[in-house]
């Protein structure tokens, strides 16, 4: 039995969006096919970006095909993230180009666009029956050094990718964490209309 944590939304939204959540219980015995990895990258490739500049870069670490590179990426994670990401068969480093390729000017939208591409990747993962957890807790300088990332590029997040571990195989600690209720602020906390801090009204 797998855990489903569909968002409890105020109105109906697309099922892929409602079903996406950042689990931590990965199945260490189930690898991700190259075809599925490619589908995630393809989804990211078609994300929108300012002037179509596509400032995102991704480095894939597939434990099934190159274990040493995977371990290098894993070593960049914070201790807390390592405690559960150790079971994820794929890690992906997202990176944003700070310079616009069309004119060599600073690209202030690069991180925004890279986030959009990463979210597209996450939704594609849901469609393929995969789980993605994006992590900001990693050593940026170490990642830059290990993977020879040029200075104009900013490492943004490391994503764990894999299949969910069945509910029956979870220990008590991670079971409690995985079954905890998803929470979000109400619409009027983050969404305004007309001016700052004037809550959006649905009617």
The reported pLDDT for the residue numbered 1 is: 67
Per residue in 58-105, pLDDT tens? 999 999 999 999 999 999 999 999 999 999 999 999 999 999 999 999
Per residue in 42-56, pLDDT tens? 999 999 999 999 999
Per residue in 102-151, pLDDT tens? 999 999 999 999 999 999 999 999 999 999 999 999 999 999 999 999 99
Distance of CA 23 to the CA centre of its chain: 11
The reported pLDDT for the residue numbered 96 is: 98
129: exposed, middle or buried (Cβ count in 10 Å: 0-12, 13-18, 19+): exposed
């Amino acid at each position: 039995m797998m855990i489903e944590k569909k968002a409890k939304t105020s109105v109906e939204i697309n099922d892929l969006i409602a079903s996406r959540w950042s689990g931590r219980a990965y199945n260490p015995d189930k690898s991700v096919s190259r075809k599925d990895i490619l589908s995630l990258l393809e989804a990211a490739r078609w994300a929108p970006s300012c002037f179509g500049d596509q400032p995102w870069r991704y480095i894939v670490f597939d434990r099934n095909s190159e274990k040493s590179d995977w371990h290098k990426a894993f070593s960049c994670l914070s201790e807390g993230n390592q405690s559960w990401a150790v079971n994820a068969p794929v890690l992906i480093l997202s990176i944003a180009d700070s310079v616009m390729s069309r004119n060599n000017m600073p690209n202030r939208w690069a991180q925004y666009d890279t986030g959009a591409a990463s979210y597209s990747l996450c939704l594609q993962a849901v469609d393929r029956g995969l789980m993605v957890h994006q992590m900001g807790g990693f050593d940026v300088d170490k990642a830059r050094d290990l993977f020879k990332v040029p200075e104009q590029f900013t490492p943004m997040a490391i994503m764990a990718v894999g299949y969910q571990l069945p509910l029956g195989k979870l220990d008590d600690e991670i079971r409690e964490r995985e079954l905890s209720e998803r929470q979000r602020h109400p619409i009027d906390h983050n969404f305004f209309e007309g001016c700052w801090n004037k809550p959006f009204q649905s009617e």
